[in-house]
Amino acid sequence: MARARSDIANTALRIFLQEMGSAYDEERGLQVYDGKKHFPEVRKFFGERCCYCGDALKSGRIAQDHLIAMNKTDLGLHAWGNVVPSCQDCNSIKQGTHWKDFLIQRAAGAAKERHKRVTDFIKHYGYAPKPSDLHEVAAALYDEVGAIAMTLIDTKIKHVRAKL
């Protein structure tokens, strides 16, 4: 049950970070980031290459990676300046690794130049969200959604069980 609870809470948190990202795009006077429409522009910024290892992007093996991960600890937003092109390999092994550490690991000799590309990208779109209470709000949402969902599930089980 603990697993189910955290799955539900993580899903809610991702939706929250996605919606917050849209709001943040609007705050910056940008169109709400829509991968289908806008990812080509992002890919172009990185010369159609993976922003970490530098490999040319191959169709069907391209991911929209979040520089700052969309999870409870990192609180990356789904927004302009945080979505980057990555090859499938980099995307699947990056997990929770900080993007700078991951880039150094993957880019080897080209790390300095590639790091600059990423920081230029972040600056270009002005991605620097700093609502001071984002951590608090996200942590509360995570706990509350988990608790409410499990209470609801328990209630439904009791209801159905009474009729077995």
Q: Which positions lie near Zn ion, rule CB under 5 A?
A: 50, 52-53, 87, 90
* Beta carbons of 91 and 65 less than 8 angstroms apart: yes
Q: How far is the CB of 88 from Zn ion (least distance, A)?
A: 8
Strand partners, 66: 83
Q: Collapsing DSSP states into helix, strand and coil, what is residue 51? A: coil
For tokens 């270009």, the residue is: 124
* Residue 122 CB, nearest approach to Zn ion (Å): 18
Residue pair 127/45 in contact (Cβ under 8 Å)? The answer is no
Residue closer to Zn ion, measured from CB, 28 or 43: 43
Q: Nearest distance from residue 86's CB to Zn ion, in Å?
A: 6
Give the nearer residue to Zn ion in terms of CB position, either 16 or 46. Answer: 46
| The pair of three-digit structure tokens given for residue 116, joined into one six-digit string | 């600059």
Nearest to 1 by CA among 98, 146, 159: 146
- Distance in angstroms (rounded) separating the CA atoms of residues 154 and 87: 42
Nearer to Zn ion, 13 or 69 (CB): 69
| Residue 45 CB-density burial (10 A; 0-12 exposed, 13-18 middle, 19+ buried) | middle
Residue 161: both structure tokens together? 């069980």
Q: Which is nearer to Zn ion, 78 or 94 (CB)?
A: 94
Q: Which is nearer to Zn ion, 16 or 102 (CB)?
A: 102
Q: How far is the CB of 145 from Zn ion (least distance, A)?
A: 33
> Taking the complex as a whole, how short is the minimal distance between the CB of residue 55 and Zn ion, in angstroms?
5
